[in-house]
Amino acid sequence: MVHGRFDRSDSLPTVTVYNHLDVQPASKAKEPWKREPFEFVKEGNRYLGRGTTDDKGPAITALFGARYAFQNGVCANIHFLWELEEEIGSPHFETTIRDHAQDFATDSVVVSDTVWVSRARPAQPAGLRGLQGFFFDLETGETDQHSGTAGGAARNPLTEICQLISECVDGKTGRVKIPGFYTDVVPPTKKDLEDLKSSGFTVGGFKKDHKYKKLRVEDPLEVMKRIWMMPTFEVHGILGGYQEGRTVKTIIPPRATAIVSCRLVPDMNPKKIVKLVTDFVKSKNPDVRVSAEHALPAYEGKTTGPYADAIRSAMKFAFGKEPVFVREGGSIGAVLSMEKVLKKPIFFLGLSLPLHGYPAPNENYDWDQAAGGMAAFAKYFNEVGSLKAGRP
Amino acid sequence: MVHGRFDRSDSLPTVTVYNHLDVQPASKAKEPWKREPFEFVKEGNRYLGRGTTDDKGPAITALFGARYAFQNGVCANIHFLWELEEEIGSPHFETTIRDHAQDFATDSVVVSDTVWVSRARPAQPAGLRGLQGFFFDLETGETDQHSGTAGGAARNPLTEICQLISECVDGKTGRVKIPGFYTDVVPPTKKDLEDLKSSGFTVGGFKKDHKYKKLRVEDPLEVMKRIWMMPTFEVHGILGGYQEGRTVKTIIPPRATAIVSCRLVPDMNPKKIVKLVTDFVKSKNPDVRVSAEHALPAYEGKTTGPYADAIRSAMKFAFGKEPVFVREGGSIGAVLSMEKVLKKPIFFLGLSLPLHGYPAPNENYDWDQAAGGMAAFAKYFNEVGSLKAGRP
């Protein structure tokens, strides 16, 4: 972690900006990157490379906004908290801010690691989905066997894992079949649905940004509910067997692993979900070992009060339009830790756009978002400094 | 292909030995090989390395048997037909023997590329299963997407492929669920079942040789029926998504591929199976593209007549016991081509043992099988030469 400080006076409020500097894996050989993912390139008004939008671009944007505000007499201390383990589930973040609570003490936090709905209108999350990762491991033998000599009698861990996955989730609709999975999901309120409707979201835009021709559903409200307010059950990869290419190597592998995760929403409890999933898997295939990883509960934020108003004012100043408060489908574990340890309000001032590919191949960031973002941050720091001693 | 000839006289019968010299892929990095797979090592009475038992060891054994027989006045011409594309489905074998039919003309063929049931008793196949390979390809997007931003609305090709596989086959029992799949399967005769019962097969031995603790079924007759006389539907690998290791990289991949094959038995027609599988897959998921590969029908051989008697006599001479005629679960495309083009009887004199790992990691061959095999081949050539001019 990096902790940076623009300190002015102990009597003034402190606002802490959270970003992360680590990135997801990337490989030009295995993914359709047009350039080397780890070579930073500027092309026109775009910055290309792994991490440009998730989350180094927003981090640097906030830093320049802070420098400007500080050089121009902002009535606030501005701290930076840069994490370098966000993408692997923030394993040391919470203990570190707890162990150094005095250094990290602040009056509010602003997080810049989220995505707008479209360039046409700023959007800030009023909640994040949580995440619970799993490995489903099945071992049925010791070494590869030949499907000619053993096929028919030998168990095939790949077909068993496929069956298990299809028992957990409807592969086409995404509907999770595990009993009780949806029990604690809070349905959207009328206000939530109104916010969604005025978010500027279009199915066509979503498809274009994510390069999809067809979705599971095509109704815009239904799509928004699914990506922001509903839990998921996704398979990210199946390890085991022949994976070197398009060859029918007729082996029966000795083991297979499904890499799985569930996005969680309020009020789902990750521990309860781990137990539900583990018990269900065991009931369907007792030989499968379930390992749980990455527990992040969902986060529910605020859309009212002086900080929310400061976000509105800053975005309007910088981008000409007030932001709409939506939800974010992704998960930021550090947000939950900061809420728990720092016990101060946390707001979001995200700058990424869907078309930045957050964090897909050919990830990018652009000058328009950087320039507006610097102005928005400078304005936000001023607004927060002008709050009744910044401590409403 | 390599064609070798020990020619004695046009007036004597010609026996052709078929082996293949190509091998399956192997990787010490990815499979539990104790040594480099492509470095040949002799250790005690074992020969270690990829190809030792499938099928170079038997090829060399037959060659030395032939040399001995020839040097000792065998009344036959002995030809060798060594293929180098067997493992990729013999794409040029049939056209080559057809184009050079005069060179390859023979009176009978003996194939040495099969596995005994146990070391305790020689076993020769009276039939081979066929093979039909498939790729099931599904593309639902263009690039990796983040399950946080798109998960719920985006189609996931991995969960769809899992569901499709579970619709094609019961992952646990292996029972194929595609209507009509078993229609043309010839049930075993009473004689077949008697042969199976006297084959020396034990479930314990099979499990030990193939390193299994548990099978789909534990009854010996049922296991033999499943590995030799029943068709299969196996998944050999699922490509797509994150496969670099144990990381919950929360992507939704744009495409996935299942590598699939079916072992076939008499009287299943590969073309009919391709149509059945393709139509079924299309009915379940019209976006999946089915590509068929590797068509080999099953082969049904003979257990009676002078050649079968010569096999019995040769094995008894070399190994002290008459062979039992069973089936072979694997597929040898060249056998079907030779039957079609050469139009002469084809018999099997295999030497591999289940514990040789045919063709799994740590593949090996041993001196006992090589020594006995040389004697068996020499004796077999003599027996065939002594048949009424070798042309019964």
A175 contact residues in B (CB cutoff 8 A):
none
d(CA A207, CA A204): 5
Cβ contacts of B112 within 8 Å, gap of 6 or more: B17, B18, B19, B55, B58, B59, B61, B62, B348, B349, B350, B351, B373, B377
pLDDT of the residue at A388: 61
Q: What does the pLDDT average to over A230-246?
A: 95
Helix/strand/coil for B52:
helix
Distance, in Å, from the CA atom of A383 to the CA atom of A312, rounded to the nearest integer, reads: 10
**Which tokens sit at A146?**
């030949």
pLDDT at A392 over 60: no
pLDDT for the residue A390: 44
Of B147, B170, B361, the CB nearest to A263: B147
Average pLDDT of chain A to the nearest whole number: 93
Tokens of A272: 């309860």
Among B135, B238, B296, which would you mutate to test the A interface (most chain A Cβ atoms within 10 Å of its Cβ)? B238
Of A222, A246, A261, the CB nearest to B250: A261
Q: How far apart are CA B318 and CA B351, in angstroms?
A: 11
Q: Which helix (DSSP H) or strand (DSSP E) does residue A162 occupy?
A: helix A157-168
- With a pLDDT cut of 90, the percent of chain A lying above it is 79
Classify the phi-psi angles of A242: left when phi > 0, otherwise alpha if psi is within -120 to 50, otherwise beta.
Answer: beta
Task: Tell if the CB–CB gap between B155 and A215 is shorter than 8 Å.
Answer: yes
Instruction: Give the global pTM.
Output: 0.83
Q: Are B220 and B202 in contact (CB under 8 A)?
A: yes
Distance in angstroms (rounded) separating the CA atoms of residues B341 and B101: 8
Closest CA of chain B from A361, distance in Å: 7
Residue pointed to by tokens 């006995």:
B372
Joined together, the tokens standing for residue B285 give: 């998921």
- Helix, strand or coil, per DSSP, at residue B211: coil
Taking an 8 Å cut-off on Cβ atoms, the answer to whether B163 and A172 are in contact is yes
A305/chain B closest Cα distance in angstroms: 27
Q: What is the pLDDT of residue B388?
A: 61
Q: What is the C-alpha separation between A16 and A349, in angstroms, rounded?
A: 12
Rounded Cα distance between A113 and B261, Å, is: 45
**pLDDT at residue number B252:** 97
Q: Are strands A77-83 and A2-6 parallel, antiparallel or unpaired?
A: antiparallel
Which residue does chain B place closest to A149, by CA atoms?
A: B329
Residue A162 has pLDDT above 80, yes or no: yes
User: Residue A153: its chain B contacts at CB < 8 A?
Assistant: 206, 215-217, 222-223, 226-227
Instruction: Return the pLDDT at A301.
Output: 85
Phi/psi-derived region of residue B370, left when phi > 0, alpha when psi is between -120 and 50, beta in every other case: alpha
User: What count of CB pairs under 8 Å joins A to B?
Assistant: 340
Taking 50 as the pLDDT cut, the residues of chain B under it are 390, 392
DSSP summary character for residue B388:
G
- Residue B263 gets the label, from left (phi > 0), alpha (psi -120 to 50) or beta, of beta
**Helix (H) or strand (E) run with residue B216 in it:** none
| Test the B interface: residue of A134, A146, A149, A274 with most B CBs within 10 Å | A149
CA pair distance A271, A124, nearest whole angstrom: 28
Measure the CA–CA gap between A53 and A62, rounded to whole angstroms: 13
